[in-house]
């Protein structure tokens, strides 16, 4: 009898566990993502980069006493050694440390720029898709205009203006983030608009209307969450391209300026023929970092898209 009871208990527990599994759509996504090895490689690489960027500089500073500005006059342009695992640059600063700081900046740029573009893109896309008609027409033409801007020349121009106004190098990075963010919301707005156009015709929106909800609530509480899947995917992939934009800008000397390092700006030394040929440790590590991070983000984003796509059943 006791055993029977135990058994039923176990059954109940099992049932509970199974229920837990189908509980939220997010758990399904997590499960599917876990099975995608390539995406997991991407995720772990990305996590490794993030951890390195956050904790690396702290360890370097308090354990080895090396900061990004500290100059080692005895080892200028020194190749990798025990003291400087990735060597030093032309003024004797530790490359590994600068790489970590650069990672902080590059990743922050990516995340902040994408956050800005996600906020702008989903609000504008949501409004445009929900109201449709004239509002939609005006907003979409605005998006078309934004899309017509040659992205890179515009970035260069704005960056040049920043240089001209002698903005403190410390704050320049924030301008770079904002500029990239403001110029890259259009794609997302289109995606969100397209989805909301079809979602608002669904029956549950009529039901929401019959509940007496305000438009604002209908758009942002009821419609937008239904588009989160595509927003997340497009944002993840967007981080990669934002990092690339920042690198390119900094490489051209218009993004982050010394003494603050960023990956793109560190690769810039390769413009020197001599460095390019003989001092590989100065430009290969930041290049590899850009490559690995963007690659990891793209792999993860692709995996996420597959995992979030309900039509894709394996």
Name the residue nearer to another protein (CB basis): 22 or 73: 22
Name the residue nearer to another protein (CB basis): 163 or 198: 198
Residue 74 CB contacts under 8 Å (≥ 6 apart), including other chains? 92
Closest CB 262 distance from another protein, rounded Å: 38
From the list 125, 120, 232, the residue with the least C-alpha distance to 184 is: 120
Rounded CA gap, 265 and 257, in Å? Answer: 7
Token digits of residue 100: 């970590």
Name the residue nearer to another protein (CB basis): 67 or 226: 226
Closest CB 228 distance from another protein, rounded Å: 8
Name the residue nearer to another protein (CB basis): 26 or 291: 26
Interface residues toward another protein, by CB under 8 A: 22-25, 202-204, 206-214, 221-222, 225-226, 228
Name the residue nearer to another protein (CB basis): 9 or 202: 202
Closest CB 155 distance from another protein, rounded Å: 36
Name the residue nearer to another protein (CB basis): 84 or 200: 200
Backbone angles phi, psi at 259, to 5 degrees: -80, 0
Closest CB 27 distance from another protein, rounded Å: 11
Closest CB 48 distance from another protein, rounded Å: 32
From the list 61, 65, 94, the residue with the least C-alpha distance to 79 is: 94
Closest CB 204 distance from another protein, rounded Å: 5
Name the residue nearer to another protein (CB basis): 24 or 163: 24
Closest CB 232 distance from another protein, rounded Å: 13
């Amino acid at each position: 009898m006791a055993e029977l009871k135990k058994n039923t208990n176990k059954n109940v527990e099992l049932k509970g566990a199974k229920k837990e599994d189908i509980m939220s759509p997010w758990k399904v996504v997590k499960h599917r993502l876990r099975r995608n090895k390539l995406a997991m490689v991407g995720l772990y690489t990305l996590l490794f980069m993030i951890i390195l960027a956050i904790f690396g500089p702290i360890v370097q500073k308090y354990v080895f006493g090396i900061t990004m500005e500290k100059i080692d006059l005895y080892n200028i342009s020194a190749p990798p050694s025990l003291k400087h695992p990735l060597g030093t640059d032309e003024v004797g600063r530790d490359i590994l440390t600068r790489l970590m700081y650069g990672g902080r900046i590059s990743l922050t740029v990516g995340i902040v720029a994408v956050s800005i573009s996600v906020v702008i893109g989903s609000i504008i896309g949501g409004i445009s898709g929900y109201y449709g008609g004239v509002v939609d027409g005006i907003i979409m033409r605005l998006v078309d205009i934004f899309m017509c801007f040659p992205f890179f020349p515009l970035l260069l121009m704005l960056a040049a203006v920043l240089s001209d106004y002698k903005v403190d190098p410390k704050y320049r990075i924030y301008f770079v983030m904002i500029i990239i963010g403001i110029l890259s919301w259009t794609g997302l707005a289109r995606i969100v608009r397209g989805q909301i156009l079809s979602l608002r015709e669904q029956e549950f929106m009529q039901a929401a209307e019959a509940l007496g909800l305000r438009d604002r609530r209908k758009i942002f509480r009821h419609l937008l969450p239904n588009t989160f899947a595509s927003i997340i995917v497009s944002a993840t992939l967007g981080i990669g391209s934002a990092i690339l934009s920042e690198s390119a800008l900094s490489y051209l000397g218009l993004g982050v300026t010394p003494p603050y390092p960023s990956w793109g700006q560190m690769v810039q030394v390769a413009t020197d023929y001599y460095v390019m040929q003989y001092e590989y440790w100065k430009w290969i590590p930041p290049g590899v970092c850009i490559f690995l991070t963007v690659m990891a983000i793209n792999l993860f984003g692709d995996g996420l898209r597959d995992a979030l796509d309900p039509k894709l059943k394996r």
